[in-house]
Structure 1
Amino acid sequence: MTRLKTHLATAAAALCLYAGSAAAQEAPKLVTILTEAVPQTQLMAMVLTLQAAQQGAAPHVLLCEAGGDLALKEAPESATAGQPPMDVSPQGLMQKIMTMPGAKVEVCALYLPGLGQGPEILLEGVGVAKPGAMAQAMMAADARMSF
């Protein structure tokens, strides 16, 4: 009986290790869609996204309309000016998010054509979302949405 308990305990421990490593490999996904022009709202979206990333989520940020301005090399002051209380800018926090494991930042497919520009005006590491792939990311079973 003791031998059976030892085997069961070993099997249970192995199962826990396997489940833990599988969970570590597949982080939950957070899709943040930002369209807002107000700097404090932009910053709060980035704060919440960063917090989720620090708690293990893989952030996928989609920037549309005025939110897309965060992705510009020559972003407006509203995107680059530090906001209270920590004097951090929405663009600065977005760039920090971009360094997180599994992070992806993209502008909407319509953003650059709407400006009459190409991807060369975007910060390095910012992509252009493909509608089909973005829809798939939004519908993923393990994805959470943030607007």
Structure 2
Amino acid sequence: MNVTQRLATSCLVGALLTSTGAMAESMDSAESKSAENKALFIVTSNSLQTQGMAMVLGNAMQAKGVSVDVLLCDQAGDLALSSTVSQALKPRNVTPEQLMAKLQSKGANISVCALYLPNSEHNAQDLRDGIKVATPPEMADMMTSDNVRVYSF
């Protein structure tokens, strides 16, 4: 192999290594972006303002491309009931359940804790359309996933 051939081979190997490194960085960036794009909101507070703010933030995150799941536990589980009508919150005069419905209409999964219904006077038929009962293994998987950020309200 002459000098020109060696130089061309060396340049080709360098270019391949550079493009492989750039591809790896691009894949790492895509993986970290998907990790930032999933969120689980665990809402336990009975405070309307806290519930409302959780839903406001969920909608804001969803508008930025984040996939949002909401787990309603304890008294916050009442938001899941079709009979619940909360007081409207200022400044937009919307209820937490209206904000939750907006989240759900844009793809959010809404669930009640597995303990909510058995420890209340309600059953699954009392839940709003599309709201399900979460299972502990499902929630544990989500909470321990590197791809999901967990927020508690």
TM-score by length of 2: 0.76
Unmatched runs of 5 consecutive residues or more in structure 1: 1-6
Larger radius of gyration: 2
The residue that corresponds to 2:104 in the other structure is: 98
SS at match of 1:62: strand
* 1:139 Cα deviation after fit: 1.0
Is 1:145 the equivalent of 2:150?
Answer: yes
1:65 partnered with 2:77: no
Among the aligned pairs, what percent are the same residue? 34
Aligned length: 143
Structure 2 partner of 1:3: none
- Provide the secondary structure at the position in 1 that maps to 2:40: strand
Report runs of 4+ in structure 1 exceeding 4 Å deviation: 10-27
Q: Conserved in 2, the CA contact under 8 Å of 1:64 and 1:111?
A: yes
Summarize deviations over 1:46-78 as a string: whole Å, max 9, x none: 0111111111111010001111111101014x3
1:106·1:129 contact (CA, 8 Å) conserved in 2?
yes
State the TM-score, normalized to the length of structure 1.
0.79
1:136 aligned partner: 141
Q: Give how far 1:116 is off.
A: 3.4
Where in structure 2 are there 5+ consecutive unaligned residues?
Answer: 1-15
Please list, as runs of the form range in 1=range in 2, the aligned pairs for 1:1-147 lying within 5 A after superposition: 28-76=37-85, 78=86, 81-101=87-107, 103-147=108-152
Encode CA deviations 1:58-115: one digit per residue, 9 max, x unaligned. 1010001111111101014x3xx210011011000000000223x2100000111111
The one-letter code sitting in structure 1 at the alignment partner of 2:111 is E
Q: Does the 8 Å contact 1:27/1:58 carry over to 2?
A: no
Mapped to 1, the partners of 2:22 and 2:68 lie a distance apart of: 31
Letter in 1 for 2:133: V
- Is the alpha carbon distance of 1:121 and 1:136 closer, same or farther for their aligned partners in structure 2, counting shifts above 3 Å? same
Q: 1:71 touches 1:123 (CA, 8 Å); kept in 2? A: yes
* 3-state SS of 2:54 partner: helix
Higher alpha-carbon deviation: 16-25 or 40-49: 16-25
Match of residue 4 from structure 1: none
